[in-house]
Amino acid sequence: MSELEYQLDLLKAMNQKLTEKERMYQAVCESADGAFLYFSLDKTRICTLGQWKDFFDFDVRNGADVQRILDEVDESGAAELQRVLYLEKTGNETDAADCQLKTRRIWVRFRVRVFYDSDRRPVDKVIHITNITKQRYKDDELLYMAYYDSLTGLYNRNYFVRLLGEYIRNAEESNSIVSIMNIDIDEFNKVNDGMGIVMGDELVQQFGLFLKDLCQQDNMIACHLHRDVFCIAIYDPAGRRTAEYIYNAIRDRLKEPFRLSNGFDISITVSVGVAEYPEASRSALELINYAELVVFRVKSAGRNGIQYFNAPILNDYMDSVELENRLKEAVANKDFVLYYQPQYYTGNRRLRGVEALVRWRDSDGELIGPGTFIPVAEKNGSIITIGKWVVEESIRQYAEWRRQFGFPFIMSINISALQYKKENFVNFLLGVLDRYQVKPSEVELEITESVLIDDFGTVTEKLKVLRGYGIRISLDDFGTGFSSLSYLKKLPIDTLKIDKSFIDTVMTDASTRVITESILNMVKALGFESIAEGVQEEQQYKYLHAIGCDVIQGYLFGRPLPPKELEKVFAGNQQAQADR
């Protein structure tokens, strides 16, 4: 074989091997995800492999065709893609760019790798093209969830706090003000209870969209804080960008109802609290909390208004925090005592019973009345522990007095709404009665109208169970709450207590006398027993006796007394019964 023939055979063999490798590379590329664009930079050879037609409807045969790729992507990503496609000009080896194809509306990632020889001259370049549309949308969704509230499209709480922190840092540098508005939809629970959670969410959504449009200004951000509460932050408030202007715009919108998908129109009002940096606080979270604190003030004053945070509110807040901390210690140490106020039948002034009234004895020995600490206890939940102690101690004390003095009377015990709603309340009460061998008929539970607000049906059924065991039920503070006659006739109660506010003015105000007499006539017609609270004057007593009130309670016949002093009253009552 000649040398020439040998060289030809060798060349054919090498070409065959090369062809086999190219077929293998092509198969690998075609089975891989996406498409490939190969450049042989030293030989200016270009070829496409893989799923090229899934991305472009043209082939790239020379460098000029690369420009067609740039023409296919959205303008926002063209400049970055051009830098990556010609990566060898920067001397880098790898990089990537994400772009959206204009015609196919898909997102594409271009991954580029350049190969260099030993002298750092570029010799080969491979561009891998993949479809990242699903990943991009998923990333966008995660990004949206990280920053926005899915129901309203407003910022979520976490991102809002972060942006508010940036506002405060900028305001510190520029000596500016940042206003925070806490916006709370009034009586939102009635919407949820009356129409359901879905309609409640729709109302929140519509109101949130309104706030979103309202805050389309520079240096203003809004968030959906939680449930029916929204927050707006205003950097350097002025002109149309002030809390007052925003509040008035909200008031104007709320003059018209929101139309829900069920066809109902619903009108709402809002309570708004405003706190400002740096006057109220220099902390983002504290600003939000203080604005919320002011909202509570607005709601306690009747709702549907706006109030600004000030020093007295801060002082009251700090006092309440201190009181709450002291109350926690008192609950742990059981630093409570019971005083008892006697009740007398109006006709013969005979003892009917006593009402147990809790007092808190602080570390200085001072007695703190329930009006000071009971609202705090109801707010933080410690009323459950206090209430259980009151039930246990009052029934224990009653059993002791019953054995000591030998005559029955009625022990009235106040029960809070939270305590009453506990599932095991009935069993707990019956257990205490059984432990001290006290008859259920000698115990009266006093409930206020607030117990009935949330779930009238369930509350009524529980009252029926209690009365079924013989326990008496008294409706306290009648006339100060909702006082609906429609529910009064459905309540399984024994006694109705007329609030002290009526008794205070019954001798000086004709309208009060008309109302009081009407209440007593209604009580008689319904078959309830009537008790007048806060009787302090002989003239009040004579009037109440004349119009048919059954029982009186007040300073005229007896102040709340500690157990030892009340025993003198019992001894006198015991002697009076013996004389009869």
Query: Domain holding 362: CATH number?
Result: 3.20.20.450
**Structure-block tokens of residue 477:** 């503070």
Segments forming the whole domain that contains residue 354? 320-570
The reply to whether 14 falls in a domain is no
The reply to whether 314 falls in a domain is no
Per DSSP (E only), the strands in 293-335 are 306-308
DSSP string, 367-420: EE-HHHHHHHHHHHSTHHHHHHHHHHHHHHHHHHHHHHH----EEEEE--HHHH
The reply to whether 519 falls in a domain is yes
The residue out of 100, 117, 137 marking a domain boundary is 137
Indicate if 111 and 201 belong to the same structural domain: no
* Helix (H), strand (E) at residue 180: strand 178-185
* pTM value > 0.75: no
Q: How far apart are CA 566 and CA 97, in angstroms?
A: 87
Q: pLDDT value at position 487?
A: 67
Q: pLDDT value at position 166?
A: 92
Q: At what angle do helices 197-214 and 188-195 cross, to 10 degrees?
A: 140
Q: Read off the pLDDT of residues 347-357 as tens digits, 9 standing for 90 and up.
A: 999 999 999 99
Amino acid at position 367, single letter: L
Beta bridge partners of 475: 447, 496
The reply to whether 186 falls in a domain is yes
Tokens 């206020």 belong to residue: 448
- Residue 243, C-beta contacts closer than 8 angstroms, at least 6 positions apart: 179, 181, 232, 234, 237, 272, 274, 306, 308
Indicate if 289 and 339 belong to the same structural domain: no
Q: How far apart are CA 444 and CA 497, in angstroms?
A: 12
What residues in the chain have per-residue pLDDT under 50?
Answer: 18, 20-21, 23-24, 26-29
Indicate if 121 and 173 belong to the same structural domain: no
As to burial, measured by CB atoms within 10 angstroms (0-12 exposed, 13-18 middle, 19+ buried), residue 117 is exposed
Integer angstrom CA distances of residue 114 from 49, 96, 117, 243? 17, 12, 10, 58
Q: How far apart are CA 415 and CA 383, in angstroms?
A: 10
The reply to whether 23 falls in a domain is no
Q: How far apart are CA 124 and CA 558, in angstroms?
A: 104
When divided into structural domains, the chain yields a total of 3
The residue out of 137, 162, 183 marking a domain boundary is 137
**Cis omega before residue 563 (within 30°)?**
no
The residue out of 89, 113, 137 marking a domain boundary is 137
